[in-house]
Structure 1
Amino acid sequence: MRPLLHNRARSRVASFGHALRGIGVLLAGQANARLHLLAATLVVLLGAWLGISTFEWALLSVVIGLVLCAEALNTGIELVVDLVSPEWHRLARDAKDVAAAGVLLASLGALATGAWIFLPRLLALYMPAG
């Protein structure tokens, strides 16, 4: 392998390692991220049990990814705000609140998507026809 290509490959591998470390930081330090990961696991198990369609799997994959991504970005924003503004400041609070709002909005969208997919199936299982 040519040195330049070798360095690029090593750089990409290192970037992937940094991202994996970031996931570790996220899960180790954020109870909400662990809760979202648990919810995602339960959604996947429920989807497998109910035999949802390929399209529904795609929708769930997108909203699960969106929530976890929002949680990661929220955590990153919180860490940077804490670094640059260790003292209380209105703008620091606003930045954190807006980032948290992003997680809430993504979660509400995921909840609506899950309800749209799962509620009809669950109701059909537990309510008699007719």
Structure 2
Amino acid sequence: MSSASSTGALRLLRATGHSWRGLVATWRTEAAFRQEVVLAVPLLVLIATLDLAPLGRALLVATLGLVLVVELLNTAIEAVVDRIGSDWHALSGKAKDAGSAAVTLSLLLHAAMWICVL
């Protein structure tokens, strides 16, 4: 394979395909992700309709997006840990707990942003 095939538009196209498969797989297998997406839709409508300063609107949208990104990363961590094995291990527990904590912090950050903006 030539180096040209791993750069530019073809690389972007392949990466987009991987991203789409990741989103679809996460949607199908992770209830938390589905719930967050379903809650994100009315929140985005609310953000768009409220009389907010542009910076406030941007912060709310950004932190809402952050929640979804962190949930995707948490799902990835869980998948890798589960792939390694189902036996309990302290490091596996630590990885899963840290991923869960990251999701919780992103949710708290988004809630805090609502408090600050309103």
TM-score, with normalisation over the residues of structure 2?
0.87
Q: 1:49 to 1:10 in 2, by over 3 A?
A: same
Structure 2 portions without partners, runs of 5+: none
Contact in 1 for aligned 2:47/2:61 (Cα 8 Å): no
What letter is aligned with 2:49?
W
CA RMSD of aligned residues (A): 1.7
Q: Deviation at 1:11?
A: 2.0
- Structure-2 residue corresponding to 1:110: 110
* 36-45 vs 104-113, which moves further: 36-45
Decide whether aligned partners of structure 1 residues 70 and 6 sit closer, same or farther in structure 2, where only a CA change above 3 A counts. same
Tell me how far 1:39 sits from its aligned partner: 2.0
The count of residues paired between Structure 1 and Structure 2 equals 116
Taking structure 1 as the reference length, what is the TM-score of the superposition?
0.80
Structure 1, unpaired ranges of 5+ = 119-130
1:96 equivalent to 2:108? Answer no
Structure number with bigger Rg: 1
Superposition misfits of 4+ residues, deviation over 4 angstroms: 3-7
Query: Contact conserved, 1:60 with 1:110, CA < 8 A, in 2?
Result: yes
Number of the residue aligned with 2:42: 42
Q: Within 5 Å, which residues of 2 pair with 1:1-130?
A: 5=4, 8=7, 9-118=9-118
Q: Give the superposition deviation at 1:38.
A: 1.8
Identical-pair percentage = 33
The alpha-carbon deviation at position 5 of structure 1 amounts to 4.3
Moved more, 37-46 or 76-85: 37-46
